[in-house]
Amino acid sequence: RQKILPLAQLEILCKQLYETTDTTTRLQAEKALVEFTNSPDCLSKCQLLLESGSSSYSQLLAATCLSKLVSRTSNPLPLEQRIDIRNYVLNYLATRPKLAAFVTQALIQLYARITKLGWFDCQKEDYVFRNVIVDVTRFLQDSVEHCIIGVTILSQLTNEINQADSTHPLTKHRKIASSFRDSSLFDIFTLSCNLLKQASGKNLNLNDESQHGLLMQLLKLAHNCLNFDFIGTSTDESSDDLCTVQIPTSWRSAFLDSSTLQLFFDLYHSIPPSLSPLVLSCLVQIASVRRSLFNNAERAKFLSHLVDGVKRILENPQSLSDPNNYHEFCRLLARLKSNYQLGELVKVENYPEVIRLIANFTVTSLQHWEFAPNSVHYLLSLWQRLAASVPYVKATEPHMLETYTPEVTKAYITSRLESVHIILRDGLEDPLDDAGLVQQQLDQLSTIGRCEYEKTCALLVQLFDQSAQSYQELLQSTNSSTMDIAVQEGRLTWLVYIIGAVIGGRVSFASTDEQDAMDGELVCRVLQLMNLTDSRLAQAGNEKLELAMLSFFEQFRKIYIGDQVQKSSKLYRRLSEVLGLNDETMVLSVFIGKIITNLKYWGQCEPITSKTLHSVRKLVKLSAVQFMLNNHTSEHFSFLGVNNQANLSDMRCRTTFYTALGRLLMVDLGEDEDQFEQFMLPLTAAFEAIAQMFSTNTFNEQEAKRTLVGLVRDLRGIAFAFNAKTSFMMLFDWIYPSYMPILQRAIELWYHVPACTTPVLKLMAELVHNRSQRLQFDVSSPNGILLFRETSKMITTYGTNSQSFYSLLEVLTQDHMNFIASLEPHVVMYILSSISEGLTALDTMVCTGCCSSLDHIVTYLFKQLSRSTKKRAAPMAQESDRFLHIMQQHPEMIQQMLSTVLNIIIFEDCRNQWSMSRPLLGLILLNEKYFADLRNSIVNSQPPEKQQAMHLCFENLMEGIERNLLTKNRDRFTQNLSVFRREVNDSMKNSTYGVNSNDMMS
């Protein structure tokens, strides 16, 4: 009965953990099961649960606990025990093929963990955990359910060994993975292919759940083998950039045999869409086999079979209506070009028909922009690589890309424009909101669109003129609908992005004068549109269109501004003819004018403001830049206004703004202090305004905060830019000593407001950053000392007013007690008094942290005392000896904390009883006589009839407690304390005597 009761309790706890909707019940069950996992009899109880448990949840618990046991690095299970567990799990799965799926999965995971972690373990010169294929052979010769288990075991094991984890070092993981790859992986892959061939030849009834499941697990097994990290590069699985599969040379036979490739193509056409994406995933990996596995003739033959399979899918595209199939097929197409050269592709017998089918498929996909938008990347990647290869192809066979690339370009552009109306009409998610996705696609289009550029440019001119004319007519009309205007703005946004992209795709060695002139045609149109939209900003503006303009500017600057650009470029000739912009400087003036306009009208729009500020380059000599340097006030740049900010965090772009201005100022600043003073006038005025506010008893606190935060963000930008000694000293002399007290005062007032303190502290961090050796003060200069004094004063001010101080103490006591023990006595006493004070704090986090800190100190002290009493103890470190001496000189500090903790537990509403219990045991063991006196005082303060009960409570508190601080002993004390508090409270509730706890325990 004693054995059955714990088992029944465990089953109840499992049910509560996995089924209950009550949070408290679930947490209690979780805590109890964690304790069970750490108990000495966990292993035997797990076997009992598997054998006698009546629920799947108890079986799951057993499997999970066993996985933790075999995975632990400290005190690992003996080899014989792990072998027994492995054999037990295999027998258990073999005799119970109809377990709940999650139980089977957990047991298979357990088998995989044991096998991986024991891969190099030997018993009588035999690697006992490596006979994995033998282990599962009996499963493969039985029922379909057994076959599924066997295949899943191999699949899970392959995946487990492929994945690095934190239980052991990466080097050991790679050794295991390499050994598994060399000894077992090819045999497993061959087995998976043979089983797939058998299954496909048996006319499986895939409506039958078990047969469907078997085929799915076989495909997963094959994919896990092909997806193995063969050379240990551990590439990011979310990236397709490094897409070569480094198949070992010993696998050559599998890929020289065309039947392997044909098997997967045949499977794709014979199984339902629920399984075919797995087949395509395998084909993606096979298509990515490293080139060096083959010689030239073998590679050509392999590629021919691969292209034939792709052609067959394109000719029978019905299954591609499934999004998962479609996505994997797009990945397969992308791999055709990433692993094979255009010169190899054009030599394939069916290339003309295949490239036509791929082009039609791409065009259709782009036109249906709402279907699987995340897959378009792969199609564009294919065409980008094809287009980029055109200048280098040496083959005499025609590549035909001049025919199909313009079709792809046109399909992308027109489909994006046509999507605008539908998205606005139906309230759909706008792709333009995903800046990363748009930029990725535009980068790909930039190469595709430059192929047959005349056609691309003609199309863009035609579409742009249509939309721009419609837009202008709508703006001039008095009865235009908001929807119609929004549609044209959306179309123009796409066109501006695309024009920027194709200009950015210009390659200098492949470009011609005619193409530069075409670029000029496009640039003229964007600048004319900018003039139109800027003229309307006082009434209305379109954020997405403005962001597209900034993207266009960046692409134009990258290609056509700089020393490498021919000043006689036909682009500038066209700009001169149409807009009167004769050279690079005049175009830059237009750009900086746009920057000023944006900062004036879009100050509240962080994306536009941020991107605008990052556009400031090579603009120093322009009059517009001089205007910015002399007029950086809220009158001209609204985002600098104090009252325009919705909240304090909206001011972050100000740092970027002043970094840009600071760098521009630095170009010609030199030692001109007058120019610096002139530049700093707006910031001087802001400091004076704050000083005036602080000098009065009543001031608008919100306005003061806004002014301060804006000011320190501005100053941090300037300090970041001033990375030369001369300019930094101007800034330092400006801020010290005049304005440092204002920053100190702000920290004193608003230490509890992170939105205020963080910017101030970041400014100080920047000021003390020795960027480019700017803090190398002269020998006779006191500036280094002054800067240190102001910084330390601020840190002290902030630290003494912030509960982060207790977090620091907790970290110090946990990891650096040797350092604390080496401190001067008055510092040690200050730390202890701070902890003592924090124990009674109303803030639970502070109180809990102090309990943890006290526990670390008490544990350290107890260990040192224990060592000092051992006869053969090594000489104690000087620091430890000093620390013990301090504690012995001042026993009242530790005793007071013992009294405080006991007082809180007995007489107050203790909200963190567990935390309080951890240091209490150590305090008691260090002060046993004092604890006895406290106990007697408490007992004697009770009514005579209650004294025996209270005495018994204290006896029970120390029942079974040993004189050590081992985890098991601590846990027992914590449990005893919980009972103690409940019994004491029950006893005192019925007491007619009022107990004054402060008097009693003073």
DSSP state of 245: B
pLDDT number for residue 106: 93
C-alpha span between 229 and 655 (Å, rounded): 45
- Residue 563 in contact with residue 569, Cβ under 8 Å? no
Separation of first and last alpha carbons in the chain? 50
In whole angstroms, give the CA distance from residue 168 to residue 71.
10
Residue 261 carries which DSSP code?
H
Which residues, at least 6 apart from 756, have a Cβ–Cβ distance to it below 8 Å?
648, 705, 708, 709, 746, 750
Bridge partner list, 289: 245
Residues 6+ apart with CB under 8 A from 317: 361
Distance between CA 175 and CA 269 in Å, rounded?
A: 39
Q: Looking at 704-771, which runs of residues are DSSP E strands?
A: none
Q: Are 634 and 642 in contact (CB under 8 A)?
A: yes
Token output for 779: 């020998």
Q: What is the DSSP letter of 126?
A: E
* Alpha helices in 96-232, H assignment, sequence order: 101-117, 132-140, 144-162, 170-180, 186-200, 209-226
Q: How far apart are CA 763 and CA 736, in angstroms?
A: 14
Residues 81, 35 contacting (CB under 8 angstroms): no
CA pseudo-torsion sign 296, 297, 302, 306: positive
Tokens, residue 291: 């080139």
How far does CA 725 lie from the centroid of its chain? 38
User: Residue 127: beta bridge partners?
Assistant: 122
The string of DSSP codes covering 285-342 is HHHTB-GGGS-HHHHHHHHHHHHHHHHHHHHSGGGGGSHHHHHHHHHHHHHHHHSS-H
Q: Three-class SS of residue 290?
A: coil
Determine phi and psi for 718, rounding to 5 degrees. Answer: -65, -45
Token digits of residue 844:
């639970």
Q: What is the pLDDT of residue 112?
A: 94
What is the sign of the dihedral through the CA atoms of 862, 868, 869 and 871? positive
Dist CA 962 CA 649 (whole Å): 55
Q: What is the mean pLDDT of each run of 10 residues along the chain (1002 residues)?
A: 56 82 84 78 83 83 88 85 92 89 93 92 88 88 89 94 76 88 94 90 76 92 93 57 81 91 93 92 94 92 95 93 93 92 92 96 92 88 93 86 95 95 92 89 94 94 96 90 94 96 85 88 94 88 92 87 64 88 79 79 78 62 69 76 60 79 78 89 90 85 88 91 88 90 89 87 91 84 89 85 78 87 87 85 81 90 79 54 80 86 81 83 89 88 85 88 88 88 77 42 38
DSSP letter (8 states) at residue 294? S
Beta bridge partners of 122: 127
Q: Are 520 and 575 in contact (CB under 8 A)?
A: yes
CB 321 within 8 A of CB 329: no
φ, ψ of residue 171 in degrees (nearest 5): -65, -40
For residue 84, the model assigns a pLDDT of 92
Residue 130 tokens read as: 């490596």
990 burial level (CB within 10 Å; 0-12, 13-18, 19+): exposed
Q: What is the CA radius of gyration of the chain?
A: 38
| CB-count exposure of residue 208 (10 Å: 0-12, 13-18, 19+) | exposed
One-character DSSP codes across 615-663: T--S-TTSHHHHHHHH--STTT-GGG-STT-SSGGGGGHHHHHHHHHHH
Q: Which helix (H) or strand (E) holds 479?
A: none
Q: Give the integer Cα–Cα distance in Å for 15 and 26.
A: 9
Nearest-5° Cα angle at 544, 540 to 548: 115
Chain centre distance of CA 903: 45
> Exposed (0-12), middle (13-18) or buried (19+): which is 44, by Cβ within 10 Å?
exposed
- Which residue is associated with the tokens 């604390």? 820
Tokens of 245: 């599969």
Which of the 8 DSSP states describes residue 438?
A: H
Q: What is the pLDDT of residue 1?
A: 31
| 3-state DSSP assignment of residue 952 | helix
Dist. CA 407–CA 423, nearest whole Å: 24
478 has which bridge partners? none
Residue 283 CA to residue 111 CA, distance in Å, equals: 29
pLDDT tens per residue, range 10-27: 888 888 888 788 888 888
Predicted local distance difference test score (pLDDT) of residue 869: 67
**Rounded to 5 degrees, what angle do the CA atoms 517, 523, 524 make?**
90
Give the CA-trace dihedral at 58, 59, 61, 62, to 10 degrees: 120
Could you tell me what percentage of the chain is helix, strand and coil, using 3-state DSSP and rounding each to the nearest 5? Answer: 75, 0, 25
Q: How many Å separate Cα 497 from the centre of its chain?
A: 29
DSSP letters, 712-731, are HHHHHHHHHH--SHHHHHHH
Structure tokens at 271: 């199984």
User: Scanning the structure block, which residue is given the tokens 């094991």?
Assistant: 157
Report the pLDDT value the prediction gives residue 124, as an integer from 0 to 100: 83
**pLDDT reported for residue 883:** 80
d(CA 391, CA 85): 63
Write out the two tokens for 434.
Answer: 């995903």
Alpha-carbon dihedral 139, 141, 143, 147, rounded to 10 degrees? 50
Calculate helix-pair angle for 701-721, 754-767, nearest 10 degrees.
30
Q: Which residues pair with 126 in a beta bridge?
A: 123
DSSP of 329-379 = HHHHHHHHHHSS-HHHHTTSTTHHHHHHHHHHHHHHHHHSTTSSGGGHHHH
Structure tokens at 374: 């995340």
3-class DSSP state of 873 = coil
Q: Which two tokens stand for residue 672?
A: 């001109």
